Amino acid sequence: MKSSSFLSLMTACMALGSYVHAEGDTKEIKVPRKQAWLDQVDLSSVPDNPVRPAGSGICENVDCNGPENDRCFETCGNTPTPEDIYGCPKENTWALTFDDGPSEFTDELLDILASYNVTATFCVMGAQVVKYPDVVKRAYEAGHQIASHTYSHPHLMGLTNEEIIYEIKATEEAIVDAIGVRPKYVRPPFGEADLRVKALLKSMGYRVLLWNVDPTDYNVYMKPNVNKLIRSAFTSAATGMDTGLNPHEDPGFISLQHDLYNQSIAQVPHIIRYLKKRGFSFTTAAECLGDKEPHASIDDDDEIFQAAVADGDTHISSSSTSSSTTNTGNSSPGTDSPTESAIDDNKNSYKSSEETSSSSVITVKANSFFGLIAMVAVAMFFYPVL
C-alpha cells in the first residue's frame, strides 16, 4: 500500500513538473503585432460577446446537449455550427491532421507519409514556423495542406478581438514567408471558439477546422502502452463506434494528432496500414470537403499586404492577457492541449525568432526543475505516513 501510494504521489509530482515546464515555455512566446493587420479586418459582423478567460467555462452537473454548451465550453465544448468542420462528408475517407508543429520530428513524419504516398494536413503554429520554415516548405511542396493553429496556442476566447487578429495575422505572415501562400483553414487551440471567435476568423477569410477522432496523444505519449492507446482510437472509429466528437454525423473522419511527439508519429505507419485494409482512402482535410484550393495566393502588388509587411514590428507577450481583459469587439473540451502537457520533454520551447535571452530560458527551466525537486522532497517527507 505504501509503495503504491508513494508511486501515485510521485507520478502526480512529475505531471505537475511537466506542466510547469510547458507553461514556462509557452509564456516566452512573443506574438508580433502590426497596426496594419487591425486595419485589414472588418469587425462589423463580429458579435460583441464577452471575453471568456480559461477556467470560466468549467461547470458541474450540466447537461451538455443543450443551450449550456457555450456557457460551459470547457466542460461541454462549444455549440457546433453548420459551418464547423468535424469530419469528411464521404464514406471511407480519412484525413490525418497534425497540430502544433513543425518540430524536430516533423521531417520523420514527412518521410513516413511519403513512403505510403499519403497527404495530410498540418495545423502549424506561427512560432514554430519561424523556427522550422524549411520543414513547412517541404510539407507544402509535397502536397500536404498547411493550416493555421495561431502563433502561440492561446485560449482564443480569452483574448480580445485585436489579440486574436495578431495571433492569426502573425501566423499568416510566417507561413507566407515560408511557402508564399496563406492558409484558408484554421484550427482553434483546444478546439475552443464561440460565435465571436468564429465570426472573427471568418472575417479574416478562414474556415474553422476541428476533428471527430482524437487519440489524445498529448495525454498518453508517456505511457508504456501508448501504442495500444493511440491505435485504439482509430480502430474504434473505423469499426463504427461513436467517438463522441461527431455532431454533424459525418461518415468520414478527420483525426487529430501532434507532430510534437515521436511516440505518436511512430504509430502512423500502423494507422495507415490498418485503415487502408479497412478500405479507407487518405486525403487532406480540404480535399475531403471538395476544396481544391486550401491556400490563398498573395499578390505581390497587394498594397494592403505590403503595407502590413512594411509596418514596424512590435510584440506582445502571449501571457499578457488576463482574466480582467475586456472585449473590444465545438469541439471536445480539454483536447488539443499539448502546450500544457510536457512540451519541454520534446525539446520544444515555443519561442519566436525574437527570443528572450538564453539566460531567461535557463531561469525558467531551472525554476521548474527546482520546483520539481521540492515536490519530490515533500513526497519523501510524507512517505512514512502513506
Active site residues: 99, 258
For cell 458541474, what's the residue? 60
DSSP string, 308-358: HHHSPPEEEETT---TTPPP---PPTT-S-GGGS-GGGGT-----SSPPPH
Q: Could you report how far apart the first and last alpha carbons of the chain are, in Å?
A: 8
CA proximity to 314, closest of 165, 166, 153: 166
CA distance 108 to 126: 20
Residue holding cell 494507422? 271
Please answer whether residues 93 and 252 qualify as being in contact, where contact means their C-beta atoms are separated by less than 8 angstroms: yes
* Nearest of 30, 12, 33 to residue 349 by alpha carbon: 30
Environment class of 307 (CB within 10 Å of its CB; exposed 0-12, middle 13-18, buried 19+): middle
Nine-digit cell string for 261: 511527439
Cell of 118: 499519403
CB 94 within 8 A of CB 243: no
Grid cell, residue 150, equals 495561431
- Within 10 angstroms of residue 44's Cβ, the number of other Cβ atoms is 7
For the record, the C-alpha cell of 34 comes out as 502590426
Q: At what angle do helices 195-203 and 161-179 cross, to 10 degrees?
A: 40
Whether the Cβ atoms of residue 127 and residue 101 lie closer than 8 Å to each other = no
